[in-house]
């Protein structure tokens, strides 16, 4: 399943670059907002995993978590997304955290038990 997705993400990425860099004028920006490529890297799970995915910067963190949980095969309530030392709150959107093209977002454990 993840391989399928990887192929899909590469297609999307090419499309987006064309759109933003050359052809599409600013006002006709896709309604979904700016798209960037981000590396998602798991610190949890039975095997380390990294996926390069194209994401919309105005997508809610909760939506991204939901999708990423399926791609990584990890329950969404078992991890937080973490960017540059900040934990992304489910109610925010990705751009609230200044995520830029090429950045890495970590899947970190919700380790609150003592």
Tell me the closest approach of the beta carbon of residue 46 to other proteins, in angstroms: 5
**Min CB(109)–other proteins separation in Å:** 4
Q: How many CB atoms lie within 10 A of CB 48?
A: 9
Q: State in angstroms the smallest separation of the CB of 103 from other proteins.
A: 13
Q: Does 46 bind other proteins (CB under 8 A)?
A: yes
Q: CA-to-CA distance for 78 and 108, rounded, in angstroms?
A: 8
Q: How many residues line the site for other proteins (CB under 8 A)?
A: 24
Q: How far apart are CA 1 and CA 71, in angstroms?
A: 8
Residue in 12, 59, 90, 103 binding other proteins, rule: CB under 8 A: 90
Closest CA to 36 of 64, 73, 1, 65: 64
Site string for other proteins, 12-41 (x = CB under 8 A): ------------------------------
109 contacts 79 by C-beta, under 8 angstroms: yes
Dmax over CA atoms of the chain, in Å, equals: 54
Q: Give contact residues for other proteins (rule: CB under 8 A).
A: 43-48, 77-78, 80, 82, 84-87, 89-90, 106, 108-114
């Amino acid at each position: 399943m993840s391989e399928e997705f990887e192929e899909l993400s590469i297609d999307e990425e090419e499309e987006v670059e064309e759109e933003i860099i050359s052809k599409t004028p600013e006002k006709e920006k896709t309604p979904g907002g700016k798209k960037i490529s981000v590396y998602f890297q798991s610190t949890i799970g039975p095997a380390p995993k990294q996926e390069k995915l194209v994401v919309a910067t105005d997508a809610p963190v909760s939506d991204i978590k939901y999708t990423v949980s399926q791609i990584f095969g990890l329950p969404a309530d078992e991890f937080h997304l973490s960017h540059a030392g900040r934990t992304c709150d489910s109610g925010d959107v990705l751009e609230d955290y200044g995520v830029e093209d090429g950045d890495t977002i970590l899947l970190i454990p919700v380790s609150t038990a003592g």
